[in-house]
Every structure is written in C-alpha cells, then in structure tokens.
Amino acid sequence: MVLGGIRSGKSRWAEEAIVKSLAPDQPVRYLAPGPAGSGDADWAHRVAEHRDRRPAHWSTVETDRIAMQLRESPYTPTLVDDLGVWLTCMLDRHHGWDGGSVTVAVSDEIEDMLGAVGAFPSRLMLVSPEVGLTVVPATASGRRFADELGTLNQRMAAVCDRVVLVVAGQAVPIKPSDA
C-alpha cells in the first residue's frame, strides 16, 4: 500500500516499484476507479499524465468494481490507483454523503474490497491519499470523506504486507514487509 498527499509522487513511486518487483515486460493490470471523461480539463490532464507514463504492455481498466476485477483475474499483477477515488465512487453510488454514518451499502462494498485484497494471491499495489496532512475540510461532505478514507486506509493497511508513505517522491516505510 502506497500512501501520500496530493502530488506527492505516490502514483509514480507505485508504478516504478511494481515494475522493479516483476520480470521485464511482465503484464500489469492498472485499475483506475475514476471517470476518465469527467469533462474537467485538469482531471483529464492528470489522467493523461498517468496513462502516458505507463508501459505499453500494461492493460488499463477504468472501473470502480475493483473487488470483482481482483477476483476475476487473481494471478495478474495489479496496481489500483487510487482508493480515494474508489471511495468517492462508492459514496456517490450509494448516496453515502449524507447522514451520521456510512450507509450499509458502502460498508458492504468496503468489506468486499478488504476481502478481495486480503485473498489476492499475486502482486498487488494499492495507492491512496493519506488524510490529515492538510486543513480540516470546511464542508460536511469533505469531513465525511476524510473520516471514511482515514478508516479505510487503516483497515486496508492492516491487510497489506507492506505500507509506505511517499513524501516529496521519497518512500518512507510505515509497515515494512518483514513486520
């Protein structure tokens, strides 16, 4: 699991790390849970930036059905970028932005994702923004996102073998693989 702030270099670090851990030219599945064609020019630029630096032999799947993808092809090395976007998609899909607690449907999606990640037998790299590295969000939905993402990151880190925090492009081990 690779954590980091916005524009910290976490995605690039994860891409380079998965390449180093595999045989040359080994296929990698890149799961992108965000909408590529959102109509936002800045978002489209960021998506293109990520797409352009990935090796040509990688496959890209744009879907928020990450757990299903992991189960359908468990022996393909996979990079998921990123869990914050995935969580946003789940909150959107299940109308989880309102109310005092996350909806049962979002909780079920999170449990499904944790199970799929914990059971995945091949190389898996998860990228997620770390929360708490900026101001407290001024909106209720922003605070909801930060709270839910913080909890998701903690639970996901518990099932991962290794966790690093990327700061200024440099990875700092949080949970070494021998821990």
Which pLDDT score is estimated for 133? 75
Which pLDDT score is estimated for 35? 66
Taking alpha carbons only, the member of 8, 162, 14 closest to residue 81 is 14
Please indicate, yes or no, whether the overall pTM of this predicted structure exceeds 0.85. Answer: yes
Interior CA angle at 70 toward 59 and 78, to 5°? 40
Residue 50 bears catalytic tag:
yes
- How far apart are the C-alpha atoms of 141 and 147, rounded to whole Å? 10
Q: Given 50, 57, 94, 95, which residue is catalytic?
A: 50
pLDDT category at 79 given cuts 50, 70, 90 is very high
pLDDT, tens only, 100-135: 667 788 899 999 999 999 999 999 999 999 998 777
- How far apart are the C-alpha atoms of 90 and 2, rounded to whole Å? 20
